């Protein structure tokens, strides 16, 4: 007998968050804001539905070679960041979240992204109509239409396929990345790119608005994390010393300060996360501040696809942090120089530097406004198709087998994938409504 849908949703959320759906958890409150936010916080449900046959890929997709995949691919997991973590100054547009990365099927990422395009549109139109909640959204702006979503979905696949074909012709294409955003394109991305450039090391806003500047204070003699009860928790002396001893070997400079990070991310609950301020040792000065960066040490859980597809590839038998680091190294052109994994107190932690200039993208950045409806939404989808294709093709640096297979199969299945994605987006809307009603009583 098939279990009620709300029972499946609740069980999947409890399995990952170690807590049944509840208004007492900030993550769950966020997930009630809209189907898009619900989708971001429940990647495991997507894979449960694939396993159960609720999502059926075209049979041709079975022939795609396995590769490194994001695992939680959606519009807000692409954005602008500095390459090599906080060690580089080149700002690129790229996938920016690998917490659910593993070796898997490229069609998982592709379909999950296509669904998110539809949900981004519904998120924005729902806020305008008063159905959904969104902060700092100008509800007077126009929203892209359903037909524009379909056009963007096709544009995403076409650009993905075209990129694979370019890789077949010249594998040096794998060293490309989007490191500029022209002003003459009708898109808010140009503005976001400039914001990221200004926040990068040497940029005009580095000392004010970079990730480092927002988290750290410097008063002339003392350098450390800002006392902020909403984001950081101060460690007691013993915990500080324990963390310092365990993780110092993985840092690239002296540890200046350590704090516990609170309530970070839509997907993370009950997973310890610490920030290390790393840089020149005392005496501190404006010069030493400029050479500092933040290293995140985050407990990793098993990637979302692996629970339902545990035997798809032996590589996925690596511990969660090791697997994330491995996949990120393969999918990025120039990965973080501090990327590593550590076993600490019987848990696996991922060590990586935080980008000085990471600028994320929300649905209203791409699906609302005159620029969005005049080509910006489709332009964004094309950039994501290009970036994701390169990330997938980099999974195998010895051949172009993946690119050859993907360029052929995705051309054949383009229309089917778009239809499947838009049908599944309706399921996500229904799931969100069930979840929200359930949350009212818990």
283, pLDDT greater than 80: no
295, pLDDT greater than 90: yes
Residue 287: pLDDT band with limits 50, 70, 90: confident
Question: What whole-number percentage of the chain has pLDDT above 90?
Answer: 81
At residue 135, the pLDDT reads 85
pLDDT tens for each residue of 10-19: 999 999 999 9
At residue 256, the pLDDT reads 93
At residue 265, the pLDDT reads 58
Half-sphere exposure of 114 (CA within 13 A, CB side): 27
Judge whether 44 and 16 are in contact, CB under 8 Å. Answer: yes
Closest of 33, 80, 184, 140 to residue 368, by C-alpha: 140
Q: pTM for this one? A: 0.96
At residue 266, the pLDDT reads 57
Question: What whole-number percentage of the chain has pLDDT above 70?
Answer: 98
Q: Which residues of 29-48 are buried (b: 16+ CB within 10 A; e: fewer)?
A: ebbbbbbbbbbbbbbbbbbb
207, pLDDT greater than 80: yes
Judge whether 222 and 109 are in contact, CB under 8 Å. Answer: no
Does 130 or 281 have the greater pLDDT score?
130
The predicted model gives 368-383 an average pLDDT of: 97
Instruction: Please state, rounded to an integer, the average pLDDT across all residues of the chain.
Output: 94
The predicted model gives 229-242 an average pLDDT of: 92
pLDDT tens for each residue of 329-349: 999 999 999 999 999 999 999
At residue 282, the pLDDT reads 77
Residue 359 main-chain phi, psi, to 5 deg: -125, 110
Residues in the chain: 442
At residue 174, the pLDDT reads 97
The predicted model gives 374-396 an average pLDDT of: 97
The predicted model gives 118-139 an average pLDDT of: 95
């Amino acid at each position: 007998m098939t279990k009620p849908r709300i029972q499946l949703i609740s069980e999947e959320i409890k399995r990952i968050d170690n807590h049944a759906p509840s208004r007492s958890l900030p993550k769950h409150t966020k997930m009630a804001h809209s189907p898009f936010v619900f989708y971001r916080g429940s990647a495991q449900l997507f894979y449960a539905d694939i396993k159960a046959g609720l999502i059926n890929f075209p049979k041709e997709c079975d022939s795609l070679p396995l590769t490194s995949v994001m695992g939680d691919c959606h519009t807000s997991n692409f954005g602008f960041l500095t390459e090599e973590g906080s060690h580089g100054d080149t700002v690129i547009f790229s996938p920016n979240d690998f917490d659910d990365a593993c070796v898997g099927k490229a069609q998982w990422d592709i379909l999950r992204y296509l669904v998110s395009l539809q949900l981004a549109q519904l998120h924005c139109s729902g806020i305008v109509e008063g159905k959904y909640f969104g902060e700092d959204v100008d509800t007077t702006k126009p929203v892209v239409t359903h037909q524009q979503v379909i056009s963007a979905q096709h544009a995403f696949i076409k650009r993905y396929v075209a990129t694979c074909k370019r890789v077949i012709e010249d594998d040096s294409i794998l060293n490309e990345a989007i490191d500029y955003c022209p002003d003459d394109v009708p898109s808010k991305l140009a503005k976001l790119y400039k914001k990221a450039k200004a926040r990068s090391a040497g940029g005009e806003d580095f000392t004010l608005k970079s990730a480092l500047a927002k988290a750290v204070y410097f008063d002339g003699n003392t350098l450390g994390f800002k006392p902020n009860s909403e984001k950081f928790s101060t460690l007691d002396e013993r915990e500080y010393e324990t963390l310092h001893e365990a993780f110092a070997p993985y840092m690239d400079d002296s540890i200046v300060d350590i704090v516990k990070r609170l309530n970070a991310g839509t997907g993370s609950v009950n997973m310890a996360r610490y920030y290390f301020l790393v840089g020149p040792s005392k005496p501190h000065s404006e010069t030493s501040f400029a050479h500092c960066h933040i290293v995140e040490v985050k407990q990793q859980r098993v990637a979302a696809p692996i629970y339902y597809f545990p035997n798809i590839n032996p590589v996925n038998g690596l511990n969660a942090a090791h697997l994330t680091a491995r996949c990120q190294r393969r999918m990025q052109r120039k990965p973080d120089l501090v990327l590593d994994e550590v076993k600490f107190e019987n848990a696996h932690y991922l060590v990586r530097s935080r980008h000085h200039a990471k600028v994320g993208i929300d649905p209203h950045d791409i699906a609302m406004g005159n620029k969005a409806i005049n080509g910006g939404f489709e332009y964004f989808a094309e950039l994501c198709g290009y970036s994701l294709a390169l990330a997938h093709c980099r999974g195998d640096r010895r051949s172009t087998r993946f690119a050859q297979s993907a360029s052929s199969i995705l051309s054949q299945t383009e229309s089917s994938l778009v239809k499947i994605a838009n049908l599944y987006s309706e399921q996500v809307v229904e799931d969100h409504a069930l979840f929200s009603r359930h949350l009212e009583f818990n």
